[in-house]
Chain A
Amino acid sequence: AQKVTQAQTEISVVEKEDVTLDCVYETRDTTYYLFWYKQPPSGELVFLIRRNSFDEQNEISGRYSWNFQKSTSSFNFTITASQVVDSAVYFCALSKPGGYNKLIFGAGTRLAVHP
C-alpha cells in the first residue's frame, strides 16, 4: 500500500528563518512520482514540484529547495529566508505510473511565518 506521512502538523517561524518540511513515503513500486502542493489561506492548491523516482538530484527554485533521498524514502522541502507570504499548508503527495495520476496525499503541514 502507498502512504505519505508528514509528521509535522504545524510549524511556526519568524521571517527570514530557514524551515524544512518533512515528507516520508511508503510504496512497493520501483517507479513513482512525488509532488509538493501549497495551499495558501485563500484555499486553492498550487503545484510546486514533481519528482520521479529515478531522479534523485536535488532541486532549487529561488528560495525553495527539495531534497529527495530514496534510501530514507524522504522528499523534504526547505524554504530559505522565509517570508510572511510563505504562510500556508503544504502537502506532499505520491502517485504511480499506470495509476491514472491519482494522488495519495499526506496530512499536510501548516506553516506560519511571523513578521
Chain B
Amino acid sequence: NAGVTQTPKFRVLKTGQSMTLLCAQDMNHEYMYWYRQDPGMGLRLIHYSVGEGTTAKGEVPDGYNVSRLKKQNFLLGLESAAPSQTSVYFCASSPGYLNTEAFFGQGTRLTVV
C-alpha cells in the first residue's frame, strides 16, 4: 500500500514563480489536508477538503490555493511564491468519521529564494 504520496519531495523556486504540489492517497479517504511545518511552530493547517469537489480554508491559507477534482488527489498551488513560503509541506488524509488518526505523506521541502 502506497498510502499518501506527495510529489515532488524537494523543490527550489525563485520568488514570484508558481508551482503545484500533488498529493495522492489510495485509502479511499474522504478528508484530505495540507499542513506546513516551520521550526518552532509545529504543523499548521493551510487548506482542507471533506470530499471530492470541496475545499475550505485552514489556519494559514493566504498565498495558497487548492483543488480536489478527484477523491484521491488534493493539489496545493502557489501562484506567486514568496520566501515566507519556504517550509516543509505535508499532505494528510483521514476517513470521514470519528476523529480517527490522519495518515501523512513524506513531506515536500520547498525553498523559495
Give the distance in Å from the alpha carbon of A33 to the alpha carbon of B94 in the complex.
14
For the complex, is B87 an interface residue (Cβ under 8 Å from A)? no
Residues of B within 8 A of A96 (CB): 99
Looking at B60-68, B74-82, B101-109, the stretch in contact with chain A turns out to be B101-109
Residues of B within 8 A of A107 (CB): 40-42
User: B101 contacts A47, CB within 8 Å?
Assistant: yes
Once A43-B88, A101-B94, A102-B33 are accepted as A-B contacts, the answer to whether A50 and B43 lie under 8 Å apart by CB is no
Q: Report the number of A-B residue pairs with Cβ-Cβ less than 8 Å.
A: 56
A11-43: contact bitstring with B at CB < 8 Å (1 yes, 0 no)? 000000000000000000000010101000001
The minimal Cβ–Cβ distance linking A90 to chain B, given in whole angstroms, is 11
Closest to A44 in B: B106
The minimal Cβ–Cβ distance linking B71 to chain A, given in whole angstroms, is 15
Residues of A within 8 A of B88 (CB): 43
User: B107 contacts A43, CB within 8 Å?
Assistant: yes
For the complex, is A66 an interface residue (Cβ under 8 Å from B)? no
For the complex, is B13 an interface residue (Cβ under 8 Å from A)? no
Query: Which of B31, B33, B42, B107 contacts A44 (CB under 8 A)?
Result: B107
Q: List 19 A-B contacts (CB under 8 A).
A: A35-B101, A43-B88, A43-B107, A44-B105, A44-B106, A44-B107, A47-B102, A52-B99, A96-B99, A99-B99, A100-B50, A101-B31, A102-B33, A102-B58, A103-B35, A103-B43, A103-B45, A107-B40, A108-B42
Once A33-B99, A95-B99 are accepted as A-B contacts, the answer to whether A100 and B48 lie under 8 Å apart by CB is yes
Query: CB within 8 Å of B: which of A53-93?
Result: 91
The minimal Cβ–Cβ distance linking A68 to chain B, given in whole angstroms, is 15
